[in-house]
Structure 1
Amino acid sequence: MKIAVHHTCADFNSYRAARVKSLFNVETGANFQLEADIDLDSAPWQIGVIVGPSGSGKTSLGRQLWGADAIYAPSWPANKPIIDAIEPSGSFDAVTAALSSVGLGSVPTWLRPYPVLSNGEQFRANLARLIAEAPDRAVLDEFSSVVDRQIAQIGANAFAKAWRRTTGQAVLLSCHYDILDWVQPDWVFDTAIGQFSRGWLRQRPRIDVDIWQTNWQHWGAFEPHHYLKLPKMIASTNYVATVDGQLVAHVAFSTRPGLAEARACRLVVMPEWQGAGVGLRFLDATCEMWRQGQNRYNKPMLSLFHTSHPGLASALRRSAKWTQVSARLYGDDKARAVASIRKSADRKGQATAGAGYGGHFRAVQGFRYLGAPCE
């Protein structure tokens, strides 16, 4: 496809305009021309990138690829949380999967309207909506331009993985070259040099994660991003994951009576790292340590893990290292729990405040870590 971009405006001759022309030996600023040969038909593709400095014609090229209507610019309601604004008539599971797939897995964020989200959250919310809607063709202008570079790179990688599970074609317009290794595009057109290239030969950068055994000292940084507000686990062993010294993920382990099995809880991945695949790898690694007896009890134990997060539950079901052991779709009867606790306290001659658990509709799914299957 050969695309010619020609823009023109008035040629001004004011004193300042004339002085600029004289000082910098520029005859006019009235004309902009760009010619591009972008091969869209010789091979199948899903993701292309038009990259180059600001003012080099990226948006103009994007508009001419499939027309201005292909530029993806969704309108968001100000009075609905994003969980309701994305595909209102679609599947709840599909929407939560789209949010998780682009790294917007922080559940409290789902309950906020789009205008109050941070720039990074809005960036990922737009990507999630595009994934959920899955049009045949889409052009994303200013891709990753308004977020810091770490969020841009991790978000670009998460989007690319999720988009390749659709059947559509997307063209990303960006002035940042640092996303290319993370997107791994099928083709790139560089407006700075007017060059088209197919395929991306460089590998995605490695993410080297360090795991540290610790206590609850770092929980304050992770707690705001956990979807439940619960007391700290008793006699737990905590682990944090770091990348270049930066806190990335947290999980805590305790044991069932008799040291029969371990329980992994309080898994949190920092928002800027969601979508990079770090969380599940971190959980697998810590559970494997306990399976091999690398714990303070020096005893091999399998680990149980429970979650209400649809995206995480789906990922665990896909993993050959995990098996699902339970799926409770609603909470316990709170009145029955209160009566049971009171009866137990009376039998022991203890006082009780009448508290109980349950009374919610939170679906809880349980999984057991088995390790890599034998070959």
Structure 2
Amino acid sequence: SKISSIFDIPINEKLKKTWNFNFPIEEKDWKIGLIIGASGSGKTTLAKHIFNEENYHHSFEWGDSAFVEYFDKNISIEKIIETLNKVGFSSPPSWVLPFEKLSNGQKFRTEIARILLSNRELTIIDEFTSVIDRNVARISCMAISKFIKKTENKKIVAVSCHYDVEEYLQPDWVFDVNTLEFKWGCLRRPEFKFTVYKCDKKAWKLFEGYHYLSSSLNNAAQCFVMFLDDLVPIAFSSYIHQQHPHVKNMKREHRTVVLPDYQGIGLGNMMSNFVAEYVTSIKCKYSSTTSHPALIFSRLKDKNWVLSKAPKILNRAQGKEKKSNSIGRVTATFLYKNNNNKKEVCNDTEKRPEG
């Protein structure tokens, strides 16, 4: 070609690439593998050769309707929702959107959920996390890793040029195409730094569109925002005073939201528990009523929360509850016990937990 002649490129050598390496994949059982290396290093070619091209994932086709309509029709909507939650896509308002209207992070998790609900036991996922923000990638990797390792008969081989994937995905094995080195095990996952600040109600604007029931906020709400690495706002929680016939100092959880790209690793529970701990540390009682299935399930297992009203479906004949956004939904009410017995959780401005 003209290009090869101008630059004196040995074209036959460039069109052919050979490797000599050890790949002891059959030595141990595994769930998640990672093939990593620079762009153009041959990662995809190797993945297809070792694990068969038929296992290579090509993007799904999505139409203009709500994306959940394009999952396998034999899979119940309950199972689809459960899987979306487990890969970290826990935002019901976004479940009614077409695929093209989702953020890149939501698209990535939706593709993963659909893969994991398919009949395929092994899937090669190329360009893993390549099109999403690296903070979002870290959270996504943690959520996906946790789910896959608990799911029977599912394996993935992630192919990526991003070396940070290894730390957060926690693969069972890693093959570096740049060095032709294979290793079992993974790096220790770095700690995240989460900081919670008491904030003005104006902060709700960033989160209001993502609450699973309502975008409204009580004018008397006391509000808190969680930041990742002290830079990125990722979660919101608030509480209000609750009139109670027997308890003077009763407070109630009002709104708790985690932005969609940061869901899947328990930040909603962490934020909710932080505010509950703060409120009980200033000698108040704290209750929370929720109809979010994942939150109900989590609190039933959490020793810090005590079930005070068993899960039930509200109806319009239940007096004051008739104005509730939870009508027709299963709701449950919990009281926070504060088993940690901490007298001072934070002051009125901030707390800086790390973990």
The bucket for the TM-score relative to the shorter chain is: 0.7 to 0.9
1:52 aligns to what?
37
Q: Is the 8 A contact 1:131 1:162 kept in 2?
A: no
What are the residue-to-residue correspondences of 1:93-242 with 2, within 5 Å?
Answer: 93-133=78-118, 135-167=120-152, 168-200=154-186, 202-229=187-214, 231-242=216-227
Tell me: CA distance 1:329–1:80, structure 2 relative to 1, closer, same or farther (3 Å): farther
Tell me: CA distance 1:195–1:356, structure 2 relative to 1, closer, same or farther (3 Å): closer
CA deviation vs aligned residue, 1:148-178 (integer Å, no higher than 9, x gap): 2111121111110111111222111111101
Deviation at 1:331, TM superposition (A): 3.8
1:264 and 2:253 equivalent?
yes
2:3 aligns to what?
16
CA deviation vs aligned residue, 1:214-249 (integer Å, no higher than 9, x gap): 231211111111123354224322111112232121
Q: Is the 8 A contact 2:88 2:264 kept in 1?
A: yes
Q: Is the 8 A contact 1:253 1:265 kept in 2?
A: yes
Deviation at 1:30, TM superposition (A): 2.5
Q: Is the 8 A contact 1:324 1:365 kept in 2?
A: yes
Ranges in structure 2 where 5+ consecutive residues have no aligned partner: 342-355
Amino acid at match of 2:297: S
Deviation at 1:284, TM superposition (A): 1.1
| Equivalent-residue separation in structure 1 for 2:97 and 2:249 (angstroms) | 41
CA deviation vs aligned residue, 1:284-323 (integer Å, no higher than 9, x gap): 1211122222xxxxx232x222222222322223323223
| Equivalent-residue separation in structure 1 for 2:136 and 2:328 (angstroms) | 33
Deviation at 1:60, TM superposition (A): 1.5
Q: Is the 8 A contact 2:251 2:287 kept in 1?
A: yes
2:235 aligns to what?
249
Deviation at 1:328, TM superposition (A): 5.2
| Equivalent-residue separation in structure 2 for 1:189 and 1:141 (angstroms) | 14
Tell me: CA distance 1:251–1:36, structure 2 relative to 1, closer, same or farther (3 Å): same
1:40 and 2:29 equivalent?
no
CA deviation vs aligned residue, 1:66-99 (integer Å, no higher than 9, x gap): 3222123353441442333334333433322221
| Equivalent-residue separation in structure 1 for 2:338 and 2:28 (angstroms) | 40
Tell me: CA distance 1:369–1:65, structure 2 relative to 1, closer, same or farther (3 Å): farther
Deviates more, 1:311-320 or 1:280-289: 311-320
Q: Secondary structure at the match of 1:192?
A: coil
Tell me: CA distance 1:99–1:210, structure 2 relative to 1, closer, same or farther (3 Å): same
1:300 and 2:284 equivalent?
yes
Deviates more, 1:218-227 or 1:363-372: 363-372
Tell me: CA distance 1:132–1:316, structure 2 relative to 1, closer, same or farther (3 Å): farther
Residue number among 354, 362, 365 corresponding to 2:332 in the alignment:
365
Q: Is the 8 A contact 2:63 2:70 kept in 1?
A: no
Tell me: CA distance 1:230–1:139, structure 2 relative to 1, closer, same or farther (3 Å): closer
Percent identical pairs in the alignment equals 26
CA deviation vs aligned residue, 1:337-371 (integer Å, no higher than 9, x gap): 5xx89xxxxxxxxxxxxx95579433323222223
CA deviation vs aligned residue, 1:96-120 (integer Å, no higher than 9, x gap): 2221222211211111122332322
Deviation at 1:197, TM superposition (A): 0.7
Q: Secondary structure at the match of 1:172?
A: strand
Q: Secondary structure at the match of 1:288?
A: helix
Tell me: CA distance 1:361–1:231, structure 2 relative to 1, closer, same or farther (3 Å): same
Deviates more, 1:127-136 or 1:266-275: 127-136
Ranges in structure 1 where 5+ consecutive residues have no aligned partner: 1-13, 294-298, 342-354
CA deviation vs aligned residue, 1:117-165 (integer Å, no higher than 9, x gap): 2322111111122333474222111111111211112111111011111
Q: Is the 8 A contact 1:21 1:27 kept in 2?
A: no
RMSD value, Cα: 2.7
1:89 aligns to what?
74
Q: Secondary structure at the match of 1:317?
A: helix
Q: Is the 8 A contact 1:76 1:114 kept in 2?
A: no
Q: How many residues align?
A: 336
Amino acid at match of 1:275: G
CA deviation vs aligned residue, 1:12-49 (integer Å, no higher than 9, x gap): xx343112126xx7774231223442222112211110
Q: Is the 8 A contact 1:160 1:183 kept in 2?
A: yes
Q: Is the 8 A contact 2:217 2:255 kept in 1?
A: no
TM-score, normalised to structure 1, is 0.81
Q: Secondary structure at the match of 1:112?
A: coil
Q: Is the 8 A contact 1:82 1:111 kept in 2?
A: yes
Deviates more, 1:229-238 or 1:146-155: 229-238
1:309 and 2:292 equivalent?
yes
2:349 aligns to what?
none
| Equivalent-residue separation in structure 1 for 2:333 and 2:58 (angstroms) | 39
Tell me: CA distance 1:358–1:194, structure 2 relative to 1, closer, same or farther (3 Å): closer
Tell me: CA distance 1:356–1:276, structure 2 relative to 1, closer, same or farther (3 Å): closer
| Equivalent-residue separation in structure 1 for 2:73 and 2:305 (angstroms) | 32
Larger radius of gyration between Structure 1 and Structure 2: 1
Q: Secondary structure at the match of 1:31?
A: coil
Tell me: CA distance 1:189–1:356, structure 2 relative to 1, closer, same or farther (3 Å): closer
Amino acid at match of 1:264: E
Amino acid at match of 2:337: L
1:7 aligns to what?
none
| Equivalent-residue separation in structure 2 for 1:149 and 1:117 (angstroms) | 17
2:280 aligns to what?
291
Q: Is the 8 A contact 1:104 1:124 kept in 2?
A: yes
1:320 aligns to what?
303
